[in-house]
Amino acid sequence: MLKRNRFRAALAHRDFRVLWLGSVVSMTGDGMTFVALAWLVLGRPGGTGRGCTRWSRRGWPRTG
């Protein structure tokens, strides 16, 4: 119950509310992009192999 009251108190501040909502929208968009790209790759001929390669590389650290 205490956490809920703290959250409501934080949402009472307009700046925090706008920041929080923007973050939620951004994270939702990131997730939708990943699903849409997977759908696009897997829908193309030979897409299964490309999709597996893409998803395995997603966890690799980027260099250069």
* pLDDT tens, position by position, 6-56: 888 988 999 999 999 999 999 999 888 888 887 787 777 766 665 566 555
Domain that holds residue 38: 2-57
Domains contained in the chain, number = 1
Residue 18 resides in a domain: yes
Measured over the CA atoms of residue 7, residue 25, residue 51 and residue 45, the dihedral's sign is positive
Which value, to the nearest 10 degrees, does the dihedral of the CA atoms of residues 22, 28, 34, 37 take? -90
Residue 12 resides in a domain: yes
12's tokens: 């009472």
Q: What is the pTM assigned to this prediction?
A: 0.56
Residue 14 resides in a domain: yes
28's tokens: 């939702």
Residue 62 resides in a domain: no
- SS3 percent helix, strand, coil of the chain, rounded to 5, is 80, 0, 20
Residue 29 resides in a domain: yes
